[in-house]
Structures are given as C-alpha cells and as structure tokens.
Structure 1
Amino acid sequence: MTSSNNQSCVKITAFMQWPYMAVRGTADNLKVEGSIVEIHKIIFDKLGYCFSYVYLDYFRCPLAALLSGNADMSGVPVAITDEVTKGKMEHSVYVYADELSAMYRRPVLEADISGLFNTYTAYVWWLIIAASLGMLFCVWVMRLPRNALFKKYRGEAGRTDPDNGALSKTFCSTSNFFSTLAVMLAQSIPNEPRRAPARIAFAFWLLVTFVLASVYRSNVKAMLILPKVDLPFNDAEELADTGLPLKMTFRSLLHRSLLKAPPGSTLSRLLPRNDSIYFDMNFSTAFKEMRKGAPVIAASRTVIRNVMHDSFSKTGKCLAYVMTDNLIGMNYYSFVFPKGSPLKAQVDPLIVKLQQSGIMDYVVRKATANATECLKPPQSQYQHELRPLKLRDFYGVFLLHIGGIFVGLLAFLIELAWAKLVYPLMPQPNSRQT
C-alpha cells in the first residue's frame, strides 16, 4: 500500500473479466467499470482506504502483478489454484461460487413430424394392437359354430351364410379381418352382422375405435399447433456426442481439467475438438460464429449470464442457450493477496457481511438483469408464441397419405396379378344342373 494525503491507498490489478470488470483505455488513462468495482468501493470506503487500479497486459497472468509486488490485491475473484496453495499467495474467504457450463445458439421451433406416432405411447399402441387381435378372435369364435353347421348340413364350402358373407375357413379370413379393420378406420364393413352376439361385439368395437380415433385426431392437431423444440445438448455427455468444436479461455480451470482428464472420460472426449481462445480478444467473433452453429462456448455461468444480458439488451431477443448440467462441479472464487498481507484480515470480515446481507449477490445479478428471460427453458419461452404453419409441418400427413396410396396401389397390382396368373389355374366348380 502507498500513502496519499495521509490516507493509505490500495493498488488493485485491473483485468478484463465480464461482467465483474471491464477495462478500457491505456495505463495513463485507465477506465475500469463493472459489478466488482462497486464491491471495491463498499469495502474500501468502510476501511477508509483509497484505491487505484494497476494496468495489466491482457496476455499475462492476472496474478503476475501480485508476485512482482506491483499490486496489493487482485481486482477480480479468481479460482484457487496451485500458486495459492504452494504458499506464494493467500486468498480471502470465497467471494462467490460459480459453475462452468456451455452455451450454444438458441434452438428454434421445428415441425414435429413424428407427431403421427407420438400421439400415443408405445404401451397404448400395443394395447390397440392387442384389442384388434382380440376383436378378430372374438368374431372368429362367433362364426366358428355357424360355419361348422353349414358345412355339415349344406355340404358346400363357400356357400353364402345368413349374414351375406362367405363361410370363414381360417382365423384371419378376409371377411373377419376387413370387418375389424373397417370399423377402426370408420369405413363401411363388407358384411353387416345380423345375429345378436355379432352386432353387440361390433357395436362395442365401434365405440372403442370412435374414442381412439377422436383422441388421435385431437392430438395430431395439437402437435401441429405446438411444434417441438429440440435441444442440441443438455449435459457433457451429449455435448461430446454432438462433435461440435468447443472454445474456452486458454489455461482456464476447464482447460486444465480437460488436459488432466483420464483417457476415455467425457472431458477427454471434448479435448480433441478444443480450440482455445482469449475471450477478451476473440469473444465477439466466437459469439458470431456460435450463432451460425459453428462452436460451443464454455464459460462460467456468470459470464454466460452477461452474454445473454448484453444480447437481449441490444436486440430484445435471446440468442444463446445454456445447458442445464455443468461441465465440472462448483468452483469457489476469492480475492488474492501477497503472502503475509495485512489487508486480508481486514477484507475478509467485510466480504462475509456482504454475502450474509445479500448485497454481494444483488450487485452481481443487477449487472445481468436482462438475462433472466433467456435463462428460461426454450420450451417455456415459445409456449405463447404464434407462428404460421410451414410446409414441413404437413410432411407427416403427406407421408401418411402417400403411404395409403402406395398400399392401395400395391393391393390393386396383387389382385390384378392374381386374376391374370393364379385364378385361371385354380379348379372351377361345376355349374349346377337345373
């Protein structure tokens, strides 16, 4: 510390770290601003000290001025590193805790083509198939005694029965199958049942299929109105699977964790795609590239909040998305002092009071207030947003329609081939003599 007008002055290192500290100008005309500057004013006004900032070349370690004796305290809280634990410096009580995460360009609304099948769960689809087979079995059981009776006393297989249909010979006869399927698709059935058991069974099946079809149509309509939002990744494992390049601060805590990660781990899988950058030099360029879908930017959540705050303040839109999980666990950041500095014992109690009163958290979050909207899940942000339907929204319906035409055409070709090739070879029944 130096003395000025009978007042002790503290020299603080000035280092670019959003949103805590932004440094502009030169060493002779230095302008420092940010949320941590307000904390400096509160602490040193309470201690009765003046303070000034020491210019630091951005490419140097922020602790270099402390090691050389040119500064009394680090301007921004830094993570506790090996230099501190080896006894070269001392750290204060932690100023704040933060997590390291990753952000990417914000996902947009997309058409839910799979809505034709996702209207029901797989379990419900299996129940529908089981119910269809059960109905088919029920019809077969009801017609089995009648078919046996006609074969015994009428003696002609293939003779029409009282229900105006051909006598069923197998479980999956054409009449049984198409009658069950036609009711499900709201089509006319080949033969109208006349006996009471068959009419009751088909009435029950008609009610079941009516409910299923009504719910299905409603769900398909809802999925067209509310399309899906696909998140690119939501944890480190998914990020590694995407193969996207990762950018971070050189020699940062995350960078060193990647280098030390054991082979085969999730972090080690991220390392080959790592393209380290200096945020204060290339961050704006990297952010523009990120919006185009090129890199993923890894940083602390506070830095990510500041990016979202800045973009929302300028454009009124949320341009970035942050994953829910963290790349590495919670990290604690503290002010750093030279070894044996008497300033540490004076600053620590004030930091604790600022934390307990909530002032520390309030000052930091006030600087990134506009990021609140962008930190919400993208699904909730688009919940009340209207958009016109695009051609892609109808791809699923078109595929279903084309599939139906293809099946119908295939059935026609099979019937045509059967009539031309197989039917003439079949023995024809003798016509009855009158």
Structure 2
Amino acid sequence: MPFMVIVGSSPPYRFVGSMVHVMDIIAKQLNSCYEFVIPDDWMFGTRLPNGSWTGIMGQLARREVDMSGVTLSNDAARNAAIDFSEPLYMDTQVLSYKRPVLEADIAGFIKPYDTLMWIMLAATLLVVLVAIFGVHLIENSLPFKRNNNGEKQTPKLDTERKAPQQQKWESVWYSFQWTIGSTLAQSIPWVPRGNAIRVIAGLWLFSALIIASVYRSNLKAMLILPKLRLPFDSIEELVETDIPCIVPKGSMLYQAVLYAPPGSLLSRLKDQLVDTVDKDKAVRDVLLGFNAVFIGQSIIEFVAHQTFSQTRTCPLYIASQTFFGATSLSIGFKKGSPLKAKVDPIIRNLKEFGILDYLVRRETIYAKECLRQESLLGSAESLKPLKLKDFYGVFSLYASGTFLASVVFLVELILQRKRHTSNLP
C-alpha cells in the first residue's frame, strides 16, 4: 500500500493501486502483456542465513519472474542479489501509533509552575516563615509589649505575661498560619506588630499577590487550552515503553531489526517486535492502539486516507523523529535482465512529467491534512469548554485540605475538653 493492494482472499485476485497503472503503461510501451505472480509467503523478501531469499526477492533471485510488480526498498544486500530500476519514489521509515485524545489532567493544578519554580517558592516560604517567627520572638522577649497601634506598652500585671514556652509556640503557630494563609489568599485574624515584622509581612503580601495571580492565570489557560501527551515521539522513547511494535515481516526494515548489532536501538526493539503478513489485522491493531507500527510513510499515509474516507476521523499520528533517512523505491529485475534498459527510460519520463507522483497522491489525498503536526498539537482555534472532570485534581486537593482541617479541628476540641475537665475541682 498504496502502490499495490490485492483484493480478495483467494484466486482470482483483483489488483488495484498506482503500480497497476504504471505496469499498464510499461506493458503498453513495450508492446507486451504481463501477469502478476504472488509469492507463497506474501512477503517482499528477506535473506536467510544460508544466503537464499524469501518472497519476491527469492522469485527474482531464482529467476522465476522477470521483474517485480511492486516497488522494493533498495539496500546493499538486495542490490547484490538483483538489479534495480531507476527510483520511482523516495520513502521514509516512520513510527506511527494511535492518535492521543484530549483528557482531563488530574495533576494539572501543579503544572502552572515547573519543578524549579515550586522549589524556589517553598524555599522563599520557609525563609519568610523563619524571618517573621524570629522577629516576632524577639519582640515578645522584650520587657514590654506593643498594642494594636504598635506602641510600646508595659504590662500592668505579671499575670499578663505568658510563660516563655507558651509564647514561643504561639509565635510559631501564628507565623505559620499567617505566612501560609496569605499565600493561599486566606484571611488570618492576626495583625503583625512592630515595624520589622510589618515590612517583612508587607513584602510577602505583595509577592503572594503576584504569585497567586500568575498561578490562577496559568491554571485557567492550561485548563482551557487542549494539551496532548504523545506516548512516544521517537524510537528512543518507544523502546522505553511496553508498546508492541509491528514491523512487516519480509521487509527491508524487518531484516534490519532482525540483524541489528546487540545493544543498538533496533536490537532493543526486538523485545517489542510483532511481525505479521496479515495486513488487515495489522491495520486494525494499529487503529485500535494495540500496537505501534514501524513502516514506510507512504503506507501510513494510505491507511490514514482510507480511514478518513470511511469514518471522517484521523486516528493516527506520526512520530516527528525518524530513525532511517529516505530510501529509494524501485522495481526489481532478475540479475542481468535486458528489461532494465527498456524500462528505465519509461520510468524516467513518468517521473519527470509528474505522473508517478500524481498516481500516488490521488490514493492519499486526505493523508496530508490528517497527519500534519499542527492539527496534532492543537491551535488557538481548538479551544474546548471546561468539563467537570477538568477540575477533578483541584477538587481532590480541596477535599484533602478540608479533611485535614476537620481532623485538626476535632483534635483541638478533644484536647480542649480534656483540659477543661482536668481543671474542674
């Protein structure tokens, strides 16, 4: 696909695709007729350890057929066994997988800031807490107190003085409450006293306002703008997952994976390798997300075109990073065949006049729109309304905080009741 599609499960088969038209043109120019011969294993062909070939490559190497009716990828091993025509097309080996869909991100409430930013915020919060507590502790250790206006006030009675240990813990508690509360835009019934504490508190209130405003703005934008997470975007990322990967059995790529040096990326892909010659099952498994596929881009474009024409959906994406460069696709001939010299000028003319590209592109007219990266990553026009599940993460955080506050409140009630009971005569 898309060069040759064989329709039917048993003879007589029906052949469709761009290569059927190319073979018709070649036969007409040579004033000849032709017959398609399908290899028993339905494969392009790989080299066996004894040096023989399977599939179409085996038919050509054994001189059972005159030429291939489909294009074959040209590499050094194949070129030593058969002759190749002028390249008809250039193709790239790509990774493809089921296109991700927009999903609610439960952990999205922590993503308005990156990890470094959260660490800096936590460190700043700790510094402010220590500063306020330290200054407050110094103020309380002086032989006077300050009234609500910040003026010095000497206690009238010794009973107004609290125990130093009690004052210390109250300072810690009020400092912690106020510092955290101001960060979360919560009102705390505590007025900082003294010029030093007021300066620190004022700076922290201003910083907390900026931090909270930016956080809310980023969170709102991240909830509204759709974000897609790709399972992988390169072969390096694929081998780190447990996603099975289809590589067509008998293809040049299958042979490259099979004989890859130990420790290489292709060798690591062996553990996830799924080889098959059943194209219908392979396509179905990829569309359902059971397997990824490592194959020629032209084949993925054809699958995307066919799927869109039938369902009006674009279920696949192509990883942006490729492993191999472009490979040439040519017609194969038995070694020393005189047909090569006759067919090459015909192919050259078809290519120069754009007929070859036209024959393929009309088989994949919807693929370009389906597989473009801009549609995958989303744009400003793809805003989505907020749904309830978009707030699951925020709701979970709020519920956890409410539960924790309720536990603290109950503990305080229990301790207060015990203290009151112990003070009774």
Say whether the fold is shared (TM-score over 0.5): yes
Shifted more, 352-361 versus 71-80: the winner is 352-361
Match of 2:214 in 1: 215
User: CA offset at residue 170 of structure 1?
Assistant: 7.0
Match of 2:136 in 1: 143
User: CA offset at residue 168 of structure 1?
Assistant: 5.2
Q: Specify which structure has the bigger relative contact order, considering alpha-carbon pairs within 8 angstroms and separated by 6 or more residues.
A: 2
Shifted more, 150-159 versus 57-66: the winner is 150-159
Match of 1:336 in 2: 332
Match of 2:48 in 1: none
Q: Is the 8 A contact 1:112 1:227 kept in 2?
A: no
Matches of 1:171 and 1:379, distance apart in 2? 55
User: CA offset at residue 306 of structure 1?
Assistant: 0.5
Q: Is the 8 A contact 2:39 2:59 kept in 1?
A: no
Give the match's secondary structure for 1:333. Answer: strand
Residue type of the partner of 2:331?
Answer: F
Shifted more, 36-45 versus 407-416: the winner is 36-45
Give the match's secondary structure for 1:335. Answer: strand
In structure 2, the CA distance between the partners of 1:239 and 1:34, relative to structure 1 (3 Å rule), is same
Q: Is the 8 A contact 1:151 1:157 kept in 2?
A: no
Matches of 1:253 and 1:172, distance apart in 2? 74
Matches of 1:132 and 1:171, distance apart in 2? 19
Mapping of 1:99-114 within 5 angstroms?
A: 99-114=92-107
Matches of 2:206 and 2:329, distance apart in 1? 66
Match of 1:321 in 2: 317
User: CA offset at residue 389 of structure 1?
Assistant: 4.5
Cα RMSD after superposing both structures: 3.7
Matches of 1:254 and 1:98, distance apart in 2? 12
Match of 1:237 in 2: 236
- CA deviations on 1:149-194 (whole Å, 9 max, x unpaired) are 326976969738xxxxx99537962222222222222222332235
Matches of 1:266 and 1:230, distance apart in 2? 23
Residue type of the partner of 1:189?
Answer: I
Match of 1:121 in 2: 114
User: CA offset at residue 110 of structure 1?
Assistant: 0.6
Query: Residue 304 of structure 1 is aligned with which of 296, 300, 305?
Result: 300
Q: Is the 8 A contact 1:159 1:167 kept in 2?
A: no
Report the TM-score when normalising by structure 1.
0.77
Identity, % of aligned positions: 35
User: CA offset at residue 404 of structure 1?
Assistant: 0.8
Q: Is the 8 A contact 2:88 2:329 kept in 1?
A: yes
Residue type of the partner of 2:368?
Answer: T
- CA deviations on 1:2-60 (whole Å, 9 max, x unpaired) are xxxxxxxxxxxxxxxx1112345899987543223454566677xx4234332212535
In structure 2, the CA distance between the partners of 1:353 and 1:199, relative to structure 1 (3 Å rule), is farther
- The answer as to 2:219 corresponding to 1:226 is no
Match of 1:76 in 2: 70
Match of 2:377 in 1: 380
Matches of 1:169 and 1:151, distance apart in 2? 16
Shifted more, 417-426 versus 267-276: the winner is 417-426
Give the match's secondary structure for 2:33. Answer: strand
User: CA offset at residue 402 of structure 1?
Assistant: 1.3
In structure 2, the CA distance between the partners of 1:342 and 1:406, relative to structure 1 (3 Å rule), is same
In structure 2, the CA distance between the partners of 1:370 and 1:207, relative to structure 1 (3 Å rule), is same
Shifted more, 286-295 versus 348-357: the winner is 348-357
Unaligned ranges ≥5, structure 2: 42-54, 146-153
Give the match's secondary structure for 1:396. Answer: helix
In structure 2, the CA distance between the partners of 1:132 and 1:30, relative to structure 1 (3 Å rule), is closer
In structure 2, the CA distance between the partners of 1:26 and 1:424, relative to structure 1 (3 Å rule), is closer
In structure 2, the CA distance between the partners of 1:109 and 1:355, relative to structure 1 (3 Å rule), is same
Matches of 2:121 and 2:257, distance apart in 1? 50
- CA deviations on 1:241-263 (whole Å, 9 max, x unpaired) are 33233333222222222321234
In structure 2, the CA distance between the partners of 1:422 and 1:167, relative to structure 1 (3 Å rule), is closer
Unaligned ranges ≥5, structure 1: 1-17, 161-165, 427-434
In structure 2, the CA distance between the partners of 1:173 and 1:275, relative to structure 1 (3 Å rule), is closer
In structure 2, the CA distance between the partners of 1:308 and 1:157, relative to structure 1 (3 Å rule), is farther
Count of equivalent residues:
398
Report the TM-score when normalising by structure 2.
0.78
Matches of 1:110 and 1:135, distance apart in 2? 38
Residue type of the partner of 1:236?
Answer: I
Match of 2:404 in 1: 407
User: CA offset at residue 372 of structure 1?
Assistant: 1.0
Q: Is the 8 A contact 1:236 1:326 kept in 2?
A: yes
Residue type of the partner of 1:57?
Answer: I
Query: Residue 5 of structure 2 is aligned with which of 1, 15, 22?
Result: 22
